[in-house]
Amino acid sequence: MGNTFTKQGVAFETFASIGKGLVRTTGRQRVVELFVLGGVFLLLVPFLGTHRVTDFAIFCIFALSFDLLYGYMGRLSFGHLLYVGVGAYATALSLQYLTSNPLLAIGLGIVAACLAGMLAGSAAVRATGACFALINLAFNRVGWFLVMSPLKDITGGENGLSVRNLRFSYFDFQNPTFRFGFVLASLLVAFLLLRVLTSSPYGILLRSIKEDERRVRFLGYNTYFYKWLTFVIAASVAGFAGALTALNYAYVNPNTLDVHANGGVIFACLIGGAGRLYGAVLGGIIYMVITNLLPVYFQRWELLLGISLLLIVFRFRGGIWGNLETLYRRLAVHENTDRSLEGGRPR
Amino acid sequence: MMYAIMYGLTIGAILYLISIGLSLTFGTMRVVNFAHTITYTVGAYILIASVRALGIPFWWGGLLAVLVAALAGYCIERLVIRRLYGESLDYTFIATYAVFLIGVDIVKWIWGVYPKPISDPIGRVADLGLMVFPIYRILVIFLALLVFFGLELFIKKTMVGKIIVAALDYKEGVRCLGIGVEKYFAIAFVVGSLLAALGGVLYAPITAVHPYMGLHVLLLCFAVVLTGGMGNLRGTFSAAFVLGMLISIVGRYWPAGSEIVVFMAMAAVLFLRPIDI
């Protein structure tokens, strides 16, 4: 009897320590973290194929950027796809008119999304709650209309725009394997960037703004500036995802900034667990699996998506990762009480 | 130009009918209701189904549609909205968005994804001296005005209306008087759904009916409600007609820009007078 107890204790301990290691990160663990993340995506390749996994990774970058805004700063936006669209169109257009170097085009795409974020952000961050979400939604809609009709001559309107000049010295974006490697590397870079940002004092400030903005302002911080900065960073990372989308499909159409698709990224963040970078990645993978694989077997996937969103809101606020964390924590507490009991027991 | 003005009045009337519910729901329950226009879509679809399949006349079909949509509104309130009182805005947003997804998918399941047209039930035009204009649209404008004055009367004269308006202003105060506000919120919600369905029924002959028609109108209605002030019924009325006019007049000279203008107006209003929620 005693033997099984100790065995369970060890099992609990390893389980809990893995959990703690993943939750709490320090210098060296970041490297391990990146290896694990890359490994997960490499493991997905044999099951889903390179094309799909590349898609998944791009969506995960987007989900990460949204998580910075929603999960960490607590500002729900219903128009974050605008920056994906801006990044994608800027990349495609600069490859057509300005340069023949895809890397430079990606850079230009990020810069364009960053500028758009600066402009829209300066108006949006003044609002809170529902107004913030709706203002962003309005901006997104305006962007969609601009692409669809007034700028039709440049953007191709509904027909979309095919991306040229995908090849530059060693960088061959026509090769799926290279594309996959490049996107995976970008995901890791974005993840690392956001990990460093969110675990820095700046990240703590963001979480404080989420908890109670008035108190943070009372401490002497200019919260508008920090909110604006976060908005711009999130927009830039989303623009990065957009640029990669353009290069991945070699084609851009207005669907990249369709307002309706914003629900997807919100769902991804929530199901994975908002406010946790792993949650965003996990949610991104799950959402992509649902939307990519489920329609093949089950036509009514939107119904399923709606019902699971309701379930998350009413029952599982923390999402999958959040619930795993509480499970770890409970196990750790369990293990600690066990040990204290053992210590307290007279021998 | 006259035609643009009349057309703007029609759009304004429809927008007004749909926006009331949104404004009421927000003002009383602090819930931004994404699922609001699902009753609008359902209303339009039931009208078409009853006219085509059952073969009953347009106006009776419309009545049936409005009643069924009110029932749907009651179910939504009972099952989802009621659990969201006092929740943070994000979660109400997401939950009602989920309801929207479910509703759209059910509509697609039953009726398919292709747009369905329906013809104008009156089909005659009136000669107004300067121009000819379909009688149906004049009727729509009159109905909206009727609803506006009806609501004003409802608010001024009946106890239920007085309680709802008082709760719009100060919910805790009403609760302190010993009135169970939840019941009245449910009434407000059902009235809102009913009027949205009426909007859907009236708009169906003017536009095509398709599963995502709700989303498109919803964005415009958010603009109306935010411009007019959330929970402010007269503000909603004037904002609906002003924005409807804006859509129509801008659309006459620059068709692509008609909807951008609405969102620009909304962003400008919010920028000048941010609503702190």
Q: Is B232 helix (H, G, I), strand (E, B) or coil?
A: coil
Q: Which residue has the higher pLDDT, B94 or A114?
A: A114
**Chain B partners within 8 Å of A213 (Cβ):** none
Q: Which of A335-344, B31-40, B62-71 has the highest mean pLDDT?
A: B62-71
Residue B130 CA to residue B117 CA, distance in Å, equals: 30
Say whether A131 and B105 touch across the interface (CB within 8 A).
Answer: no
Give A338→chain B minimum CA distance, Å.
Answer: 38
Say whether B219 and A138 touch across the interface (CB within 8 A).
Answer: yes
pLDDT band of B260, cuts 50, 70, 90 = confident
Find tokens 């000048």 and name the residue.
B272
pLDDT band of A8, cuts 50, 70, 90 = very low
Say whether B259 and A141 touch across the interface (CB within 8 A).
Answer: yes
With an 8 Å Cβ cutoff, the interface of chain A facing chain B consists of: 70, 74, 76, 78, 123, 126-131, 133-135, 137-139, 141-142, 145-146, 148-150, 259-260, 263, 266, 270, 300, 302-303, 305-307, 309-310, 312-314, 317
Say whether B271 and A305 touch across the interface (CB within 8 A).
Answer: no
Cα B183–chain centre separation: 21
Please name the residues in contact with A286: beta carbons below 8 A apart, sequence gap of 6 or more: A268, A271, A272, A320
Say whether B226 and A148 touch across the interface (CB within 8 A).
Answer: no
| Under 8 Å between Cβ of A204 and A85 | no
pTM score, two decimals?
Answer: 0.80
| Under 8 Å between Cβ of A303 and B102 | yes
Can you give the pLDDT at residue A345? 44
Can you give the pLDDT at residue B259? 75
**Closest CB to B101 among A126, A137, A302:** A302
Which domains does chain A possess?
32-299 (1.10.3470)
Can you give the pLDDT at residue B130? 67
Test the B interface: residue of A141, A148, A217, A308 with most B CBs within 10 Å: A141
Which domains does chain B possess?
2-272 (1.10.3470)
Give B153→chain A minimum CA distance, Å.
Answer: 31
Please state the ipTM of this predicted complex. 0.75
Say whether B105 and A300 touch across the interface (CB within 8 A).
Answer: yes
| Under 8 Å between Cβ of B136 and B122 | yes
Buried b vs exposed e over B76-85: b needs ≥16 C-beta within 10 Å?
bbeebbeebe
Q: Is A162 helix (H, G, I), strand (E, B) or coil?
A: strand
The nearest alpha carbon in chain A to B95 belongs to A310
Give B195→chain A minimum CA distance, Å.
Answer: 23
B80 inside 8 A of chain A by CB: yes
Say whether A313 and B89 touch across the interface (CB within 8 A).
Answer: no
> pLDDT tens-digit profile of B118-138?
766 666 666 666 677 777 888
Say whether A309 and B97 touch across the interface (CB within 8 A).
Answer: yes
pLDDT of residue A175 exceeding 60: yes
The nearest alpha carbon in chain A to B92 belongs to A313
Say whether B275 and A131 touch across the interface (CB within 8 A).
Answer: yes
pLDDT of residue A339 exceeding 70: no
Give B142→chain A minimum CA distance, Å.
Answer: 30
**Closest CB to A127 among B80, B97, B274:** B274
Residue B137 CA to residue B135 CA, distance in Å, equals: 5
B266 inside 8 A of chain A by CB: yes
> pLDDT tens-digit profile of A304-332?
888 888 888 887 777 788 888 888 888 88
Residue A332 CA to residue A337 CA, distance in Å, equals: 9
Residue A66 CA to residue A75 CA, distance in Å, equals: 10
Range A3-22 average pLDDT: 48
Please name the residues in contact with B223: beta carbons below 8 A apart, sequence gap of 6 or more: A138, B243, B262, B263, B265, B266
Can you give the pLDDT at residue A231? 93
Give CA separation, B19 vs A261, A276, B24, B189, B220, in Å: 23, 37, 9, 12, 9
Give A38→chain B minimum CA distance, Å.
Answer: 31
pLDDT of residue A341 exceeding 60: no
pLDDT of residue A10 exceeding 70: no
pLDDT band of B222, cuts 50, 70, 90 = confident
pLDDT of residue A262 exceeding 60: yes
Can you give the pLDDT at residue A82? 93
B94 inside 8 A of chain A by CB: yes
**Closest CB to A145 among B97, B101, B260:** B260
The conformation of residue B133, written as its DSSP 8-state character, comes to E
Give B14→chain A minimum CA distance, Å.
Answer: 20
Q: Is A167 helix (H, G, I), strand (E, B) or coil?
A: strand
| Under 8 Å between Cβ of A140 and A209 | no
Residue B35 CA to residue B83 CA, distance in Å, equals: 15
| Under 8 Å between Cβ of B188 and B163 | no
> pLDDT tens-digit profile of B60-107?
888 888 888 888 888 888 888 888 777 777 788 788 888 888 888 888
Say whether A130 and B102 touch across the interface (CB within 8 A).
Answer: no
Can you give the pLDDT at residue A3? 42
The pair phi, psi for residue A127, each rounded to 5°, is -95, 160
Can you give the pLDDT at residue A116? 93
pLDDT of residue A14 exceeding 70: no
Range A92-103 average pLDDT: 85
B149 inside 8 A of chain A by CB: no
Say whether A127 and B270 touch across the interface (CB within 8 A).
Answer: yes
